[in-house]
Structure 1
């Protein structure tokens, strides 16, 4: 009685591939006997191309954190509008928290240097001089990275007339200086320089890197950036061509 045979697909390089030609695979069948009426296929031990065999592989680099890879969750309408208004400012603060970047925050009472520990809708937790400090965002006029300070300070001018007014944080939003978003959009698209004067008398001149409902990031001529809070704005001027 003849034996039942099954055939298994096996890879074998052809002559053209041995000579360095195309890597088109050439297949042939290897026959294996069966016992009784049961038929089965014998898997080949090395079914892959010799250049693709399994073995020790280089470890994959760890994927960097991406804010958009977080699992989706349903949020209330009020929280959605708040996140939409925060825009780039929220991502900027979160990035400095992840990277533990030393920051400089200039307030109406002085200068604070330290790391950002936590971001909240109206406050920031800082680690300054080994102590945890919570500051209100309304008290902050502008901030920047501590490593960029030598190339930022020479480009900060002071308007003595505004400084002499001794203005503090304005709690009433209706009494603050309102920056027109249409002006910011046009200056951003055309890369037109702006001059922003804060309530403390500081004057910043440069182009807009990005802006949100609460902040404006200005790129100074030294190619370093300062994040100014819009609630601390006193006036805004646009360079004329």
Structure 2
């Protein structure tokens, strides 16, 4: 699975196919538009108000097809107030990010287990893992609504009972090193 899917990127595909998408970025904002340019770490996004947004990919928490109503997303993505209160943002240093191993995701995908993903900003995305690559996890939410979660934006991932953490370290990282310095 890894050989075939690791390099696949839904974000790259949306750019190449000029597919209108909605992106969830830090600041609890959802933008709708097109990716105009893409590079390994940045992209240029043109929203439907014709505003140009140059941004690091790290600012993106999730994205989906623009056909999905924003109200539907807001209804399906629940807040985790405890995580929101932490006021977290993107974790720049990959070593400090919250990792879910592929060998954990694969059986969850095959068993079609419901997973509760929480972003660093406290958005809870609940659904079944449909696929994954090095940087993204494709999730099917309630009602069949598809969304793509950026792996760098994950704070936690748990089972339906919210008792078992699927994170590599089992305890979510806030992006701070043990000496108190942050990941910047």
Q: Which range moved further: 146-155 or 116-125?
A: 146-155
Q: Secondary structure at the match of 2:148?
A: strand
- How far apart are 1:98 and its partner, in Å? 4.2
**Which of residues 13, 19, 32 is equivalent to 1:101?**
19
Kindly indicate whether the alpha-carbon contact (under 8 Å) linking 2:119 and 2:156 is maintained by their aligned counterparts in 1.
yes
- Compared CA separation, residues 148 and 177, structure 1 to 2 (3 A): same
* Deviating 4+ runs (over 4 angstroms): 83-86
- Compared CA separation, residues 85 and 147, structure 1 to 2 (3 A): closer
Q: Which protein is bigger by CA-based radius of gyration?
A: 1
**Which of residues 67, 71, 76 is equivalent to 1:147?**
67
Instruction: Show the 5 A alignment for 1:182-201.
Output: 182-201=103-122
* Unaligned 5+ runs, structure 2: 162-184
1:71 equivalent in structure 2: none
**Normalised TM-score (structure 2):** 0.76
User: Quick one: distance in 1 between partners of 2:58 and 2:11?
Assistant: 16
User: Quick one: distance in 1 between partners of 2:98 and 2:140?
Assistant: 21
- How far apart are 1:140 and its partner, in Å? 0.9
1:205 equivalent in structure 2: 126
User: Quick one: distance in 1 between partners of 2:149 and 2:86?
Assistant: 20
User: Quick one: distance in 1 between partners of 2:34 and 2:82?
Assistant: 33
**Which of residues 40, 43, 47 is equivalent to 1:124?**
43
Kindly indicate whether the alpha-carbon contact (under 8 Å) linking 2:6 and 2:132 is maintained by their aligned counterparts in 1.
no
**Normalised TM-score (structure 1):** 0.59
**Which of residues 89, 96, 102 is equivalent to 1:168?**
89
Kindly indicate whether the alpha-carbon contact (under 8 Å) linking 2:38 and 2:44 is maintained by their aligned counterparts in 1.
yes
- Compared CA separation, residues 94 and 178, structure 1 to 2 (3 A): closer
- How far apart are 1:126 and its partner, in Å? 1.3
Measured on the aligned residues, the alpha-carbon RMSD in Å equals 2.1
**Which of residues 33, 44, 49 is equivalent to 1:114?**
33
User: How far does the alpha carbon of each residue in 1:19-44 deviate from its partner, in whole angstroms, 9 at most, with x for none?
Assistant: xxxxxxxxxxxxxxxxxxxxxxxxxx
State the structure with bigger RCO (CA 8 A, min sep 6), 1 or 2: 2
User: Quick one: distance in 2 between partners of 1:120 and 1:235?
Assistant: 27
* Unaligned 5+ runs, structure 1: 1-82
